[in-house]
Amino acid sequence: MNAPAAEPNTRERIVEAADAQFYQRGFEKTSFADIAEQVKLSRGNFYYHFKTKDEILGAVIALRAQRTQAMLDRWAGSAQTPIGRLRCFAEMLIQNRKDIQRYGCPVGTLCAELAKLEHPAQGDASMIFGQFRSWLRQQFEALGRKDDADALAMHLLSRSQGVAALANAFHDETFIRHEVELIENWLQSLQPGKTTAQKQARKTKHP
Domains of the chain: 8-51 (1.10.10.60), 64-205 (1.10.357.10)
pLDDT for the residue 193: 76
pLDDT for the residue 175: 97
Q: Answer whether residue 6 shows pLDDT above 90.
A: no
Closest CA to 155 of 90, 73, 58, 104: 90
Backbone angles phi, psi at 175, to 5 degrees: -60, -45
pLDDT for the residue 2: 54
pLDDT for the residue 30: 97
pLDDT for the residue 5: 52
**Do the Cβ atoms of 22 and 35 come closer than 8 Å?**
no
Average pLDDT over residues 125-133: 98
Q: Answer whether residue 203 shows pLDDT above 60.
A: no
| Count, residues in the chain | 207
pLDDT for the residue 196: 45
Q: What share of the chain is helix, strand, coil (3-state, %, to 5)?
A: 75, 0, 25
pLDDT for the residue 99: 98
pLDDT for the residue 194: 61
Coil, helix or strand at residue 46 = helix
Q: Answer whether residue 200 shows pLDDT above 90.
A: no
Coil, helix or strand at residue 157 = helix
pLDDT for the residue 207: 47
pLDDT range class, residue 128, cuts 50, 70, 90: very high
Q: Answer whether residue 46 shows pLDDT above 90.
A: no
- In 107-146 the beta strands, taken as DSSP E runs, fall at none
More confident residue, 55 or 197: 55
Please calculate the CA angle 122-166-184 and round it to the nearest 5 degrees: 95
**pLDDT tens digits, one per residue of 54-107:** 999 999 999 999 999 999 999 999 999 999 999 999 999 999 999 999 999 999
**pLDDT tens digits, one per residue of 101-127:** 999 999 999 999 999 999 999 999 999
Q: How many CB atoms lie within 10 A of CB 118?
A: 7
**pLDDT tens digits, one per residue of 155-186:** 999 999 999 999 999 999 999 999 999 999 99
pTM of this structure: 0.88
pLDDT for the residue 197: 43
**Do the Cβ atoms of 36 and 47 come closer than 8 Å?**
no
DSSP state of 37: H
In angstroms, the CA 72 to CA 138 distance is: 11
